[in-house]
Amino acid sequence: MAWFEREFIAVPEDGKNRMVYKWPDVNIRRFSRAIVNADEIALFVKTGKVVAALGPGRHRIDAQELPVLGALVDAVSGGNFYRAELYFVSTREFPGIKFGGRLADIMDPVSEQVVTLRAFGEFALTVRDPAELITSLVGTADLASPTGVQTWSSDLLLKAMRVAVTQGISGGEWPILGLPAHLRSIEDAVLRQTNLTLYEYGLRIARLGNFDITLAPEDADRLKRLAKDITYIRMTGDFQRYAAGELALGASAGLAHAGDAGGSGLLGAALGFNAIQPHTAVPQATAGGATADEGQRSLPAAQQNCGSCGTGNPAGARFCMSCGTKLSEQRHCGSCGSELSAGARFCNSCGAPAGG
């Protein structure tokens, strides 16, 4: 039974989607058949070095076909086993690998505010050199893990993006509040930076997809408010005028919601108005002891009398508030222009006939 269990060596079904699959046994029986799929390469590794490679197809594990394996025969087993690590490396592209997290704390050159950047997205990974991948990542990434290489590559991409984006923002190439408009150039810079590092590991990121760089929500709100303040100050000419305008808007909002907010809202609105009101002159007293404002408030409002019942109605009224009779249009003296009361035949200012 053991012979048939080890007669064929191939990637199992649950390992088809792995970039690297490590055969679990380092004792490989002589004359076993290794099945390598069309998008795979099989590598025999001994003491950290690749000693043999198998391309797609069926191969017999024997020193006659692979002479280099002759030095790997286990003498203890009577020469029936080769001792080596066997890796199956997929050569196809692996898209949709996710990455993301905190990118960096950086100072915005425009506002001089320190903000936190975050990046999220996907990328496509492919193997450039299977031998370099195995020999370089042994001891660095867990090659036996189903997602070991992808996770390691994702972390490396985030580090490279941190360097590229920080340099671009600090150099004034990309504004923090306008990063989405520069995602294409950011992607090119990040791919160059990342692939330079991945080259020595035999990997390559083909492209990024659905990625974005964002600000922490509180930082985004803070920069937007600051940008608005700077724009308004530039429009008004100085900070004092802008501050006065902001107080006026706050006071108006307080008065508008005074009924809902109660006395505290009304008090806040009043304080806001008082803060922006200029110093006014003290009203001068009239000869009778009353101020000019009080004298103006004591003047009766203009009225028009109903021609039917004689009731005085407010100026501009169209119907009598007592009997409902439609009020006639207001007439004026043809000589002095004074208003004439309803039914008047002579002007009470100059005495001229009403129709004159």
The more confident residue out of 51 and 310 is 51
Most confident of 103-112, 140-149, 196-205: 196-205
Residues 297 and 99: their CA atoms lie apart, in Å, by 73
Q: CB neighbours (10 Å) of residue 140?
A: 11
Q: pLDDT for 28-77, tens place per residue?
A: 888 899 999 999 999 999 888 899 999 999 999 888 788 888 888 877 77
The whole-angstrom separation of Cα 175 and Cα 182 is 9
DSSP character string of 195-257: HHHHGGGTEEEEEEEEEEEEE-HHHHHHHHHHHHHHHHHHHHSSHHHHHHHHHHHHHHHHHHT
pLDDT digits (tens, 9 = 90+) for 127-181: 999 999 998 887 677 777 778 888 889 999 999 888 888 888 888 888 887 788 8
Percent of the chain with pLDDT over 90: 21
Check: CB of residue 312 under 8 Å from CB of residue 304: yes
- Judge whether residue 238 has pLDDT over 70: no
Confidence category of residue 280, pLDDT binned at 50, 70, 90 = very low
Q: How many other CB atoms are there within 10 angstroms of residue 296's CB atom?
A: 9
| Band (250; pLDDT cuts 50, 70, 90) | low
Q: Which fold has domain 93-215?
A: Tetrahydropterin Synthase; Chain A (3.30.479)
pLDDT value, residue 281: 46
Residue 182 C-alpha from the chain's centroid: 14
Question: What is the pTM (predicted TM-score) of this model?
Answer: 0.57
Q: pLDDT value at position 2?
A: 43
Average pLDDT in the 83-99 region? Answer: 92
Closest residue by Cα to residue 123 from 89, 88, 97: 97
Residue spans per domain, the chain: 8-90, 93-215, 319-355
